[in-house]
Structure 1
Amino acid sequence: MPVDEAMKHRRQLVGVAYRLLGSITEAEDVTQEAYARWYAMSPQQRHAIGSPGAWLTTVASRLCLDVLGSARARRERYVGEWIPEPLPAYSLDHQTDPADQVTLDESISMAFLVVLEHLTPAERVAFILHDVFRYPFTEVASIVGRTPAACRQLATSARRRIRASRQASTPIAQQREIVAVFKSAWEAKDIPRLLTLLDPNATISADGGGIVPATLEPVEGLNQIALSFAALADRAPDLVVRERTVNGQPGLVAEQDGSVAVVLAFEIAGGRILRIWAMRNPQKLRAWADSERGPTPNSR
């Protein structure tokens, strides 16, 4: 099979792996390893495989299971909060059916990925492959190493936990408006305005990875959050804040001295900001260095 025929599945492989691992870097590593195994086979062996995409997805998903198994121990040693790596405004998916696009977009939101972190590796793989990418449980079973019935139970358990954490959806246009007002109030250090945008139970989590300063525990309460953003505007008056799409949702990117300093993702419910995730770890901002060099749809 020509190289292009196998490589046309690359974006979907990265998309599956990113949802499973919450890391663009690890997703790309897994995808590269899956292709290394594909091209390690003889041409005759590759030709005998009826569906290269399914084969590559199976291999990549099994590799993700291995990574997830070791990731828990690594994240226990992680300095401060571990937040999934934020995704710039480009699609992970290639030639998806428009009818599937809403599900795919929701499955890369930061709120969704954070909930996935609380699932077991097997639950996560079963749910993502079946509910998001519509793989039948017979195929999921061969990947997870369990029976189709057991995989159905894993997906059901994951679905239940995800539904329990899900907030009522807010239209994207309204989210974008709220984020824009938040940006203006932050830049103006307008604490009363910030307070009107935040839910009384709002929290903010920051991920510095022990590399750059960041709060080690989530900050709770609208007063604390509003004050912290106003204080940040005082400490860093040269911060340039731009509206961007972060994990398929309206978000903000702040630059300092020409470099991306923080990416903010939001969860908005009932017209107010419920959760803010602040990514500061420079190792998780590498994709943003490239994306910020060119124009993006929501720049202002």
Structure 2
Amino acid sequence: MDLHYLTVILLGIVEGLTEFLPVSSTGHLILASELLGYDASTWAMFNVVIQLGAILAVVVLYWRTFWAVALGLLRKEPASWRFLRNLLIAFLPSAVIGLALHDFIETLLGAPKVVAWALIIGGVAILLIERMVKENRFHGIADIPMARVVGIGFIQCISMIPGVSRSGATIMGALALGVERRTAAEFSFFLAIPTMLGASTLELLKKGDQITSATVGWGSIGLGFLVSFIVALLVIRWFVGLVSRHGFAPFAWYRIVAGAAALLWLTMR
């Protein structure tokens, strides 16, 4: 197989596997660029846009939820309006701060050691939060109070540091604020839709001309999108079932081991 398309498929697999797990898809893509030796700047927009494939997987898997909410909005049901309100409010901090700090965030994307340290520190944080949090008072997205939603939205902004993990930050933030595990995970899935749509739109507006380049064109982006979509479909249901039974500790230990291995490799190479 052509090396270019092998890279496309591998990156699509990495994105689909890691977008909704608390292990940082962006961090893994950055480390993959170091490991595979390709020019990360050339593939930067590709890495952002293929995230939409993983986002589409959420829409497909939870279409009944979105349909029920849409019908509820038409019928003016309070729970549906609270569901929509909570998603929009949680999204706003990342939209504002992301726009303000976009250039600074882009400089961090070229710092693989930042990713390694963020993986380690994030893993330790997950273990601590899992041990400390005992009370889960909120068992539905529409039931989360507005003040808690605002807190989750600001906590999500920590994930602008590559390696922190958007899903990890929102899930752990929700747990710490009293949301039960399954609801925290699903809130993270749903919140990814406006967040990643916004990030992809911004990237397209800033670097849309690069999409026609010979290196990473529409064909490559389409293939990466498809691969990330299929892999994310398989991962999401498995992930929800796992955390409902066993919590997030397995992912914390993976982060610590992967981060330490990456840091060792980056230091010694």
TM-score, normalization: structure 1? Answer: 0.26
Which entry has the higher C-alpha Rg, 1 or 2?
A: 1
Higher helix share: 2
- Asked which structure has the greater RCO (Cα within 8 Å, sep 6+), the reply is 2
TM-score, normalization: structure 2? Answer: 0.28
